[in-house]
Copies of this chain bind each other. A is one copy, B any other.
């Protein structure tokens, strides 16, 4: 009997694809095993359990997003960088909704440490540097930025904006314009 050639990496990769196809919450050990034409139990030699599998998908997504964002950021500064960075996330979410959802998974502290989370916040800070905000305003602004990007993309994907005719991409651009203005006029105190 020929083997299926499973490895942890191939499982995670396939799970990520599955997530984009059917939704991250529907990614299950069984479904993944089915996709490989293999019994459920066979996956447990490569992956600790379902939680572990999901965390690995999350880390894959975080890494991919960090890579893309780093590329987008290269050679840009100021509003240019802000827009490029923001669009990276939004585009990734549209292209890979399952992976994006995975990236939202609350990671255990240890897993978070091993993830690309740090790179993300580094990049956030790099963008902010262009605006010359002193600490602690910088931290406040980073949190606002992260929240706005994430919230907008999440709500848009959930269809929360679909009741109003206005093109969501346009609102997104205006939101980025507004954020740029905000950062340039960050309130003192």
Contacts and interface: CB of A to CB of B under 8 A. Distances in A.
Contact of A158 (B104, B152, B160): B104
Number of copies: 2
A35 interface: no
Contacts of A144: 148, 152, 171, 174-175, 178
A-side interface mostly: helix
Nearest to A168: B143
A8 interface: no
A111 to B, nearest CB: 12
A24 to B, nearest CB: 12
B106 A158 contact: yes
Nearest to A176: B144
Given A136-B166, A189-B177, A143 B147 contact: no
The 6 closest A-B pairs by CB, nearest first: A151-B151, A147-B152, A147-B151, A140-B174, A150-B151, A140-B171
19 contacts: A104-B158, A137-B174, A139-B166, A139-B171, A143-B152, A143-B155, A143-B161, A143-B168, A143-B172, A144-B148, A146-B155, A146-B160, A147-B150, A147-B154, A147-B155, A149-B151, A154-B154, A174-B187, A181-B187
